[in-house]
Chain A
Amino acid sequence: MDVLYFAWVRERIGIPKEKVETNATTVMQLVEELKTREERYEVAFSDLSALRVAVDQELTDFDASLEGVREVAFFPPMTGG
């Protein structure tokens, strides 16, 4: 699946987008998997209360299922308007 990062999450991880092969079945499992990769992921995902997630371009929660999902995005709380 495609994993996207925006705003300071993108800056901390250092890339806007990557393809991830995973067996994770929930967003939380994906986060745990990414955190074990490298320190920059661990830093970016250290405080999940400061993050939001969208699955297939819909806002959702960290316990959301990844079944059939093509795109997951992580970002800080939005500041539109």
Chain B
Amino acid sequence: MRVVVQEEPFDFGREAQDFASGHSNMGAIVTFTGVVRDADKGGMDRMVIEHYPGMTQKALEKIAAEAVSRWDLGDVLVIHRHGELRQGDMIMMVATASRHRVNAFEAAEYLMDYLKSRAPFWKKEYTADGAEWVAAKDEDEDALSRW
């Protein structure tokens, strides 16, 4: 299990390759990458992600450990960035390795659902009109109930 919180960009291709090649007895590797899109109202100049330095790493490790305990996983990788990002930048990625794909897919979805609303990150979008905090969506909270 590897959990990384960092400001700098990560190399998705290299991370995915390293993760996949380290697990020769796993039949399934699933990766998900979150990318900065435009603000819903358009015209976004940049996004700034604030986080809670003391808590973020622990919260992510707890979420990843819970995934490992629920599914038959060989490994889990979580990388999440903070700081200033632009449209098209990769914000985060998760990767799961399992003997079978169902576990790898489900665990990746679980990780994503919990990262959305249980990891201490807050996004702020800057447009020509000013800056606005991104509001949490009810559906993100509701998504947790299926687990």
Contacts and interface: CB of A to CB of B under 8 A. Distances in A.
B133 A76 contact: yes
A79 B80 CA distance: 12
Given A6-B52, A57-B55, A81-B34, A75 B120 contact: yes
B42 interface: no
Interface string B101-134: 0000000000010011111111110000000011
Given A80-B116, A80-B121, A81-B115, A73 B34 contact: no
Interface residues of B, dominant DSSP: mixed
Given A7-B122, A54-B120, A81-B112, A76 B136 contact: yes
A20 interface: no
Contact of B122 (A4, A54, A57, A75): A75
Contact of B52 (A8, A57, A79, A81): A57
Contacts of A75: 52, 120, 122
Interface of B: 34, 50, 52, 54-55, 58-59, 80, 91-92, 112, 115-124, 133-136, 141
